Amino acid sequence: MRFIYDHDLHIHSHISSCSSDPAQTPESILAYAKKNGLTTICLTDHYWDERVAGPSSWYAPQNTPHIKEALPLPEAEGIRFLFGCETEMRADMTVGISRERFDELDFVIIPTTHMHMKEFTVPPAYAGKPEMLARLWAEKLDALLDMELPFEKIGLAHLTCSLIGGDDRALYEKTLSLITDAEAKRIFTRIAKKGAGVEINQFDFTFASGGKEDILRIYRIAKEAGCKFYLGSDSHHQKGFEKTKEIFERAITLLSLRENDKFRV
């Protein structure tokens, strides 16, 4: 059976510092789910646990009391509205959430490709060097997979995100091309064994930043390795929902995803 677009597990509200849309509320997010017939959605505002030292100045205000301002989440019959977060992974491989905090959240997204936050997420020696960034892509995932975490409730966000290259599209495309099939297979085999979800992010699949063939190559390797996938609009604004269904349906077709490829929280 073809993979069904029935969920969206990566959604931000106006509480996230990178959202400037006051209309992006839990209520409007629930309305998006109703309109598209979704049965599971998850609020994943940016987050740095105050129990973990060393947040950036941008992350520091986005602590536990801050993200809990969204609670209680609105309800609707037939829709699970989960409460999660999107945390961060520093250049020294520290993750911005304590082990204890996982019990308070339904789903935790951990990005390893926010490489635009120079020095905070990328060692200075790696910056601007595609060979080094391709190596860092694997190093961050290896470090995360070495941790004792509840991977059954963890999603790996936008693994082919254009932020790998910051604002430099050529750097982004070159970095993706340097992630070898063998290295991708090794990493995705580890991810499959741990049971973490691999995100299909709508912005990666617009192919607006180029790299289409490498993006498809990388996710096809993930599928062959036995990874399970979830859909994430990564929407920070109401406009972010306008083409979500179209983009996800195209991604599902391009990757030939089936229902048994689906990650379930």
Please spell the DSSP secondary structure of 21-75, one letter per residue: -TT--HHHHHHHHHHHT-SEEEEEEE---TTSS---TTTTTSSHHHHGGGPSPP-
Residue 171 C-beta-side C-alpha neighbours within 13 Å:
16
Q: Which pLDDT does position 209 carry in this prediction?
A: 85
CATH number of the domain enclosing 91: 3.20.20.140
Position 31 in a domain:
yes
Q: Measure the CA angle with vertex 145, ends 80 and 70; round to 5°.
A: 30
Q: Which pLDDT does position 259 carry in this prediction?
A: 98
Position 2 in a domain:
no
Q: Which pLDDT does position 41 carry in this prediction?
A: 98
Strands 80-86 and 228-232: unpaired
Determine contact, residues 2/254, Cβ cutoff 8 Å: no
> How many of the other CB atoms lie within 10 Å of CB of 126?
19
Per the structure, how many domains does the chain have?
1
Location of structure tokens 């602590």: 63
pLDDT, block means (10 residues), the chain with 265 residues:
98 94 97 98 98 97 98 98 98 97 98 94 95 98 98 98 93 97 98 98 93 97 98 96 97 98 97
Q: Which pLDDT does position 20 carry in this prediction?
A: 82
Which residue range is the domain that position 64 belongs to?
Answer: 7-234
Position 263 in a domain:
no
Position 89 in a domain:
yes
Position 250 in a domain:
no
Position 84 in a domain:
yes
pTM of the model: 0.97
Q: Which pLDDT does position 81 carry in this prediction?
A: 98
Report CA 191 to chain centroid distance, whole Å.
Answer: 14
Q: Which pLDDT does position 255 carry in this prediction?
A: 98
